Each structure stands twice: as C-alpha cells, then as structure tokens.
Amino acid sequence: MAKLEFDKTGEKIYETGVEQCALFVRGASGYNPGVAWNGITSITENPSGAEASAVYADNIKYLNIVSGEDFGATIEAYTYPDEFGVCDGSAEVATGVKIGQQERKPFGLAYKTKIGNDTDGISHGYKLHIIYNAQAAPSSKAYQTINESPEAISFSWEITTTPEAVNGYKASASVTIDSTAVEPTKLTALEKKIYGDTSAEPTLPSIDEIITMFK
C-alpha cells in the first residue's frame, strides 16, 4: 500500500491569467469567423443550479433530487471588438453611427488561462476554454472626468448560455481542454481551427467535433 505524499516537487499546481480571447458572433447559418478580443482583464465563470431538493418518505430523508445546471460568466475588459456591438444590443445605422436597445445576438468565446507549478512557473501549461450560445445582458458604463489620477474605463457584461446537444452526454455550453493532459498534435489542430492561420479563417467547432478530434 502506498502512503499519501503531500506537496511533492512539481505538483503544486495553480491557475492564473486570461489571454487570446476570440469572439464568434452567431449568424443565420452558424458562427461567423472569429475575431480577436483585445483588452480582456477577467472572465469569471459562474455556474448555477444543480441544487439538491430533499424528498422525505417513511419518516426519513428518502433521496435528493438535483436540479439542472446552468452556465454563466462575467466578462470584464477595457475594450471590445466592433463585432461585439450586435451582441450588446447595438445596430450600426450608418458608418460610425449606432443605436441601442436592439436585438442581442448570441455568440461564442474561446480563451486561454495559464497553468503553473512550483518548478515551471506559469509556463507549465494552459487550459483552452470554449463557451457556446452566450447572451450578454445590458450593463452600465461609468464615464468620469479626467483628474490627476485618470483611470481607463472598464466594461463588464453578465452572460448566460443555452446549452447545445452533445451525443452521448447531457447538453452543454462549455468545454475545457487541458494542455498538460491531451495529445499536443490534437490540441495544435484544434487551436489552428479556432484561431485560424494563413490558409483558413478562425472557426468555432461544435462540442461533438471537439470530442471526435480528441477521441
């Protein structure tokens, strides 16, 4: 029998950072080609639901019935691509002229976060996160006068999602791929698809496509 060992060298794992965020606005026939979203400062994933409701019988707690789980997130950024305007309720009626309170289009996101440890630092690995069928809620924008300590405006959006069907599993709105656990060539192929290259536009594969790529 092996004894448990704690805090071994190389096993002090942590996660940090957010980078390489790509936006995919949903069109009439699927997701449009991706665009870079610069200025992202944080993406906070906020799952909800999956709450247990107790059922009693025979004078005892008989079982727990668990509710469905939803996936949401909070995006914070200093700026956003022009393509995100239609997701934030804007419509361009003329070049440089936009009106608000319009239909909000769904979108997908792909972004990376760092995996670090005590030996490699933040170069140990990363996770590729993908969010599907997201919808942004209206948010406030606080403009302030410039003073002796000016600060850049930070934008924030609360998003909800609608899960998509996945063969053999419950419907889902998110996927996470760990670079330290998957085959590098398969991950490279997926990133080439998502971020594009000189010969192909950035596209957002479905969850079923991703599962097929890695199986």
Q: Tell me the DSSP string of 64-115.
A: EEEPPEE-EEEEEES---GGGGGGGT-EEEETTEEE-S-PPPPEEEEEEEEE
Q: Is 35 contained in some domain?
A: yes
Of the candidates 195, 205, 206, the one whose C-alpha atom is nearest the C-alpha of residue 111 is 195
Q: Which two tokens stand for residue 161?
A: 């999602």
- 166 assigned to some structural domain: yes
pLDDT above 70 coverage of the chain, percent? 100
**Regarding predicted confidence, which is higher, 112 or 29?**
112
Residue 106 lies in a domain: yes
The model's confidence at residue 129, banded by pLDDT at 50, 70 and 90, is very high
Let me know: does 192 contact 201? Beta carbons within 8 Å. Answer: no
Q: Is residue 80 part of a domain?
A: yes
Confidence of residue 148 (pLDDT cuts 50, 70, 90): confident
In a domain, 203, yes or no: no
Residue 172: φ, ψ to 5° = -145, 155
In a domain, residue 210? The reply is: no
198: in domain: no
Q: What angle do CA 178, 42, 102 make, to 5 degrees?
A: 110
Task: Look up the domain containing 148 and give its range.
Answer: 14-178
- The answer to whether 72 and 57 are in contact (CB under 8 A) is no
pLDDT at residue 147 tops 90: no
Per residue in 45-55, pLDDT (tens digit) is 988 887 888 88
Number of domains within the chain: 1
pLDDT digits over 70-100, tens only? 899 999 999 999 999 999 988 889 988 889 9
pLDDT at 1 exceeding the cut of 80? no
pLDDT in tens, 158-203: 999 999 999 999 999 999 999 999 999 999 999 999 999 988 999 9
Quick check: is 185 in a domain?
no
How many CB atoms are closer than 10 A to CB 166? Answer: 15
* φ, ψ of residue 140 in degrees (nearest 5): -80, 150
Question: Is pLDDT above 80 for 25?
Answer: yes
Q: Look over the chain and give the mean of its residue pLDDT values, rounded to a whole number.
A: 92
